[in-house]
Amino acid sequence: MDPLSITASAIAIIQVTTDLINGARIYYKSFKKSPKEITELVHELESLDILLKSLRHTSQREDERQKQQMDQLVRIVGPEQTASRLPMIQKPMEADAPLSLCYNEMLVFKTKLTKDQSRAQRSLKWPFEKDEIKAVIRRLRNLKSLLDTAIASDHLALSIDLRGNVVDIVNSLHVTANKDLIQRLSSWFSAPNPSSNLNTAQTKRQQDTGIWLLKSPSFLSWEATPHSFLWMHGKAGWGKTILSSTVVRSLLDAGKSDGTVACFYFDFQTHEKQLFQKNLNSIVVQLFSQNPQVSTIVEELYNAYNGGRSRPTIQDTCVALRRMINKITASVYMVVDALDECQDRRALLGGLKDIRSWNQGNLHIFVTSRRETEIENVLCTLTTDTMFLEESVVDGDTLTYVRYQLQHDAKLSKLSEEIPDEIEIAVVNGSNGMFRWVVCQLDAIRGSMKLGLLRKALRILPKTLDETYARILNSIPEEHVEDARRILSCLICAFRPLAIGKIAEIVAIVIEGEHYYDMESRLQEPRDNLTICSGLVSSTKIPGKTRPDGENICFKGLRLAHFSVKEYLTSDRTAPAQGSRFALDECYTHELVAKLCINFLLWWGQEGFRRYPQTRHEYHQILDRPFFALYAASFWSNHLQTALLDHSTALYGECLKMLTRPLLLRHIIRLRGARYALGEIEEHHSEILFSLFSAGTTVHVLDVATDAVSVSPLYYVSLLGLDELVLKLLAADEDINSAGPGGTCLAATTFSGHKKVVRLLLDKGAEVVRCIQGSFDYCWTQAPISTQADTGTLRRFCIEQFATGTFK
């Protein structure tokens, strides 16, 4: 019989069975005394018919259900789970299958019953003998039993499959829920992703470099010994970050499926990667991302902070980290690079002390830094072993790198045969273990266009990194010196990585005068930044926002090539003959960048935009391209505060000019809000708004399509904590009790945590009122300050809360 579906097979057999029942009944009616075997046969056939019709009905319902749910089942449990729902019945009509046996038996029976006999002949003779009909009845009973067994077996299998599918669905939902939980908690921690530093370091690493470290007794002992702590230190530019990335990659590739690896790179180029709190947050996120069983600990911390409405303290984060490590039974490897690039070292070193005091046997800590007294005094009491990078140790890696560059670099690989050997000898012998020094010399050699000049350069290679940087600065053409100063200043003090396109706009900003921006001074090719500051800067990728379709926007960014570049430029080691024009004090760089930001915004307000962006879409278009207005609006106040300016500086006058232009101020605030992607948040999401507001951001300006939001200059600078501008605006008769979406000026600065401005406003007579608008009623009622009613109580409350660190 040809293969058929269950429904079609049942119908075919039902038709044959019906014919047999009708035929048997004819014989039954034709005999006055018909054999009782005929009655018995009819009963068996009718019983089989009922069973087959029930099977047909069930199969039809199953076919309809499968048709409706097939797509959903395929998505959830895969196509292999939906191929057959009644496998025993639907073999489907193989020779030994129940339906096939039944059909064939009925067909033989029917053929014999109707074989070439007229109705008259059939009425005279029953074609079956008594024993023969009994055998047919037995076979019918056996067939029914076989079908019953097959159906029961299929129902059991279906029940098992269904239970398995339910388990799969539940597991799938759990996985989805865990992913959502991890994403929500990761977002709350706002932890920097170390993968960018890891990947950058790995691209600089040549094959087989750092193998000596992985095979060293100190490293092998660190891996195997419980509660181990290894500190690797060396001079600036000796490749510590590349070696630490080698350690991380080795741990990840070692096949230790039960181990957990967490890493962090302190990075002088990125503000959030200079903070110990962010270091802790990143480690916590990595641990619970790899170990779902500890996510409940983080969730408890999240709930303890009002469902994520505020950020956890360092102390509470450490407590959660300890509980997580204690709950993880396998080894936990923690690799932290460049401790010397951490901005709050006291907190970092104190945190390392606390972590070591836990005595967690499964925790292995590996850190790198330069050998600085402050760091050494603490780590010498904590470490189980120490490694010092000596010249003899890293010379092999240096040689490997130089040979690779000479063989594969586009320019160096084209040199005549004898020159590569000369370069190798001169550079490797002069490196003294400084990988960064080697990189600089090869950069300089690439620029030598004549063989004679190249050999001369090899004979007079600089001895130190300082001398190398001085030569690079002195080689900058005079017409590009000011551009280079601006570029380097921005990279020294930027609060976030800068796209090359933004740097191209920086050199066109006019510092003095009323025009603020000179289009003809703008770099036509943004990559010229790399040429102007060659050897001191490098390009990098800057992750942007994610589009709704899931595509990640990335910009090509610019950064200082190494921490030693920043140290040199901001130190007092720049002698007059060695680039004193580039002695860039950090306060000076912040003042310069503040000027650049404010002047650019003033130009933007005058003529940069013939029409301001009006809709959320137009603001996101600004986010989608490297436009300097976004950085300027977001960080002008941060640079102004960090510059520590005298109150009489002329820059404050430019600030007031910017702040007192209502339309410009409104769009600066909205653009700053767009940086935090707040245009995505609806007004009624007050819980989200409160958490952002209490963190000090300008989250009160949300809907960039709404023109109703109006913020006074005094309210805005109070929120930002700019005390000098607060004084100047009050002197200009600004209303001290002017309100914004977060309440009065006093309310705004209290929430933002600016103690000095709170004192100032209280001393100047700010009224203690709850002036709340719109969606921030919720925010205020959740704050402890709402319980204070009179001026004296609030004054004491504010000061006491700042003293105890409640707000900060």
**DSSP string covering 117-142, please?**
--HHHHHH--SS-HHHHHHHHHHHHH
Nearest Cα residue to 195 out of 265, 257, 274:
265
- How far is Cα 223 from Cα 427, in angstroms, rounded to an integer? 35
Q: By the 8 A CB rule, do 501 and 626 touch?
A: yes
pLDDT tier at 391 (50, 70, 90 boundaries)?
confident
Residues 608-632 have a mean pLDDT of: 61
Higher pLDDT, 67 or 754: 754
pLDDT tens string 346-374: 999 999 999 999 999 999 999 999 999 99
Q: By the 8 A CB rule, do 724 and 678 touch?
A: no
Neighbours of 766 (CB within 10 A): 22
Taking the C-alpha atoms of 618, 620, 626 and 631 in order, what is their torsion angle to the nearest 10 degrees?
100
60: CB partners within 8 A, 6+ apart: 7
310: amino acid identity, one letter: S
How many angstroms separate the Cα of 748 from the Cα of each of 104, 655, 759?
88, 20, 13
Q: By the 8 A CB rule, do 632 and 597 touch?
A: yes
Alpha helices in 31-97 (DSSP H): 36-77
pLDDT at 75 over 60: no
686: CB partners within 8 A, 6+ apart: 775, 776, 777, 778, 779
What per-residue confidence (pLDDT) applies to 176?
56
- How far is Cα 742 from Cα 689, in angstroms, rounded to an integer? 10
Residue by residue, DSSP assigns 520-554 as GGS-SSTTHHHHHTBTTEEEEEEEEEEPTTSPEEE
How many angstroms separate the Cα of 517 from the Cα of each of 136, 631, 659, 668?
104, 16, 19, 18
Nearest Cα residue to 695 out of 190, 238, 171, 265:
190
Q: By the 8 A CB rule, do 500 and 593 touch?
A: no
Give SS3 for 312: coil
Q: By the 8 A CB rule, do 780 and 786 touch?
A: yes
- How far is Cα 804 from Cα 414, in angstroms, rounded to an integer? 66
Rg (CA), the chain: 40
In DSSP terms, which residues pair with 557 in a beta bridge? 499, 540
pLDDT at 272 over 80: yes
What angle, 0 to 180 degrees and rounded to 10, lies between the N-to-C axes of helices 616-623 and 628-642?
A: 70
Range among 37-51, 77-91, 246-260 with highest mean pLDDT value: 246-260
Q: By the 8 A CB rule, do 306 and 346 touch?
A: no
What angle, 0 to 180 degrees and rounded to 10, lies between the N-to-C axes of helices 616-623 and 662-675?
A: 60
- Would you call 660 exposed, middle or buried from its count of C-beta atoms within 10 A (0-12, 13-18, 19+)? middle
What per-residue confidence (pLDDT) applies to 38?
67
How many angstroms separate the Cα of 692 from the Cα of each of 87, 97, 117, 280, 603?
57, 68, 94, 20, 30
pLDDT at 740 over 50: yes
In DSSP terms, which residues pair with 265 in a beta bridge? 337
Residues 256-275 have a mean pLDDT of: 86
Kindly report which listed range (493-497, 588-592, 603-607) carries the lowest average pLDDT score.
603-607
483: CB partners within 8 A, 6+ apart: 507, 523, 532
**What are the tokens at 312?**
């956890």
Nearest Cα residue to 584 out of 595, 571, 565, 597:
571
Q: By the 8 A CB rule, do 526 and 628 touch?
A: no
Q: By the 8 A CB rule, do 367 and 231 touch?
A: yes
What per-residue confidence (pLDDT) applies to 592?
93
Nearest Cα residue to 605 out of 659, 652, 657, 664:
664
Q: By the 8 A CB rule, do 143 and 105 touch?
A: yes
- How far is Cα 307 from Cα 293, in angstroms, rounded to an integer? 20
How many angstroms separate the Cα of 476 from the Cα of each of 473, 529, 531?
6, 12, 10
How many angstroms separate the Cα of 129 from the Cα of each of 27, 105, 732?
14, 17, 123
- φ/ψ bin of 513: left (φ > 0), alpha (ψ from -120 to 50), beta (otherwise): left
Q: By the 8 A CB rule, do 348 and 279 touch?
A: yes
Higher pLDDT, 255 or 219: 219
- How far is Cα 417 from Cα 197, in angstroms, rounded to an integer? 36
Q: What is the enclosing helix (H) or strand (E) of 364?
A: strand 363-369
pLDDT tier at 504 (50, 70, 90 boundaries)?
confident
What per-residue confidence (pLDDT) applies to 455?
87
Q: What is the enclosing helix (H) or strand (E) of 398?
A: helix 391-408
How many angstroms separate the Cα of 612 from the Cα of each of 598, 605, 671?
17, 9, 11
How many angstroms separate the Cα of 447 from the Cα of each of 45, 362, 409, 412, 441?
99, 51, 13, 10, 10
Nearest Cα residue to 307 out of 185, 190, 186:
185
What per-residue confidence (pLDDT) applies to 704?
35
pLDDT tens string 520-576: 888 777 777 778 888 888 888 776 655 555 566 677 888 898 888 998 898 887 655
Give the number of C-alpha atoms closer than 13 A to the C-alpha of residue 371, restricted to the C-beta side. 11
Kindly report which listed range (173-187, 321-335, 473-487) carries the lowest average pLDDT score.
173-187
Return the DSSP state at 691: H
Residues 668-672 have a mean pLDDT of: 80
593: amino acid identity, one letter: V
Give the number of C-alpha atoms closer than 13 A to the C-alpha of residue 124, restricted to the C-beta side. 5
Give SS3 for 337: strand
Higher pLDDT, 51 or 621: 51
What per-residue confidence (pLDDT) applies to 726?
93
Maximal C-alpha separation, the chain = 135
pLDDT at 510 over 70: yes
